[in-house]
Amino acid sequence: MVQKIRKKTKKGPKAPHAVPLAIVLTALYGIQREGRDFRRPFEDPAKVRAALRLQLEQEIIPSDRVLSFKEYREWGLKNSPGRLVEMFSRTGFIPMGPAGDEEGVGSRPRLGILPIIAVVKGMQFESFGGRLGGEWSEVAAVAFQNGVYPAFNLIAGYDLLLYRPPHHARDINRSVAGLNQLTEEAFHQAGRPYPGPFDFLPDEVLSRIPLEEPLAGGSFGRF
């Protein structure tokens, strides 16, 4: 079920709220469509942030690298979007630190999750909710790919980046289902055996993520 963002009025129509979002993606390398670790920090997080602002038309704070399924599941701050805005609104991105070791994945495609916090004023909730899950504009898609390709070590025209539009973080499994379909199609088009779908996050993990959090005290940093 698609999560509906509820408009809060107790702090006034202009009060900002922190909304947790995510993009799910995978990188397929070469004609064999191999999976590799692509969790390096972005060379220029500002480019990724600018591309996401084009798509979402709101102030946003993305992480500075993609997380693995395991990293995202164990990341406690995914349940505290308001705190993330307080901590990182001045820098404009969330530092995730070095990628943790992952074993047993071989050459299978990896599922990546890019956390994003959107800062949305109350009177803009309805229009913002209508943009979530919408297809990327050509300009925003090109800008996003240009921002992430260097960190992922992707070669345009040879490797393949697959991703779904930004969704509310509670809707990650809906995005994973869409990514599974894209990945299966990519393997069939390449004449390679499909290695199987990505796992879904447990409902008990996603249910603890708030729909949004009001930012007490007005705005933070640049917001």
- The pLDDT of 44-55, averaged and rounded, is 93
126 or 164, higher pLDDT: 164
Longest dimension (CA), the chain: 56
Rounded Cα gap, residues 77 and 209, in angstroms: 9
- The pLDDT of 39-55, averaged and rounded, is 93
pLDDT band at 9 (very low <50, low <70, confident <90, very high): very low
Rounded Cα gap, residues 27 and 144, in angstroms: 14
Taking residue 134's Cβ as centre, other Cβ atoms within 10 Å add up to 11
Q: Model pTM? A: 0.89
Q: Write the pLDDT tens digit of every residue in 102-153.
A: 766 778 999 999 999 999 886 666 667 666 878 888 999 999 999 999 999 9
Q: Write the pLDDT tens digit of every residue in 186-218.
A: 999 999 999 999 999 999 999 999 999 998 755
Collapsing DSSP states into helix, strand and coil, what is residue 170? helix
- The pLDDT of 24-52, averaged and rounded, is 95
Rounded Cα gap, residues 185 and 180, in angstroms: 9
Please say whether the dihedral angle defined by the alpha carbons of residues 27, 30, 35 and 41, taken in this order, is positive or negative. negative
Rounded Cα gap, residues 176 and 198, in angstroms: 7
What single string gives the DSSP state of each residue in 95-123?
---SPPP--S-TTSPPPEEEEEEEEEEGG
**Whether pLDDT at 51 is above 60:** yes
For residues 222 and 88, the answer to whether their CB atoms sit within 8 Å is no
Instruction: State residue 102 phi and psi, 5-degree precision.
Output: -130, 135
Q: Smallest Cα–Cα separation from 21: which of 100, 95, 177, 128? A: 128
User: Residue 16's pLDDT is what?
Assistant: 87
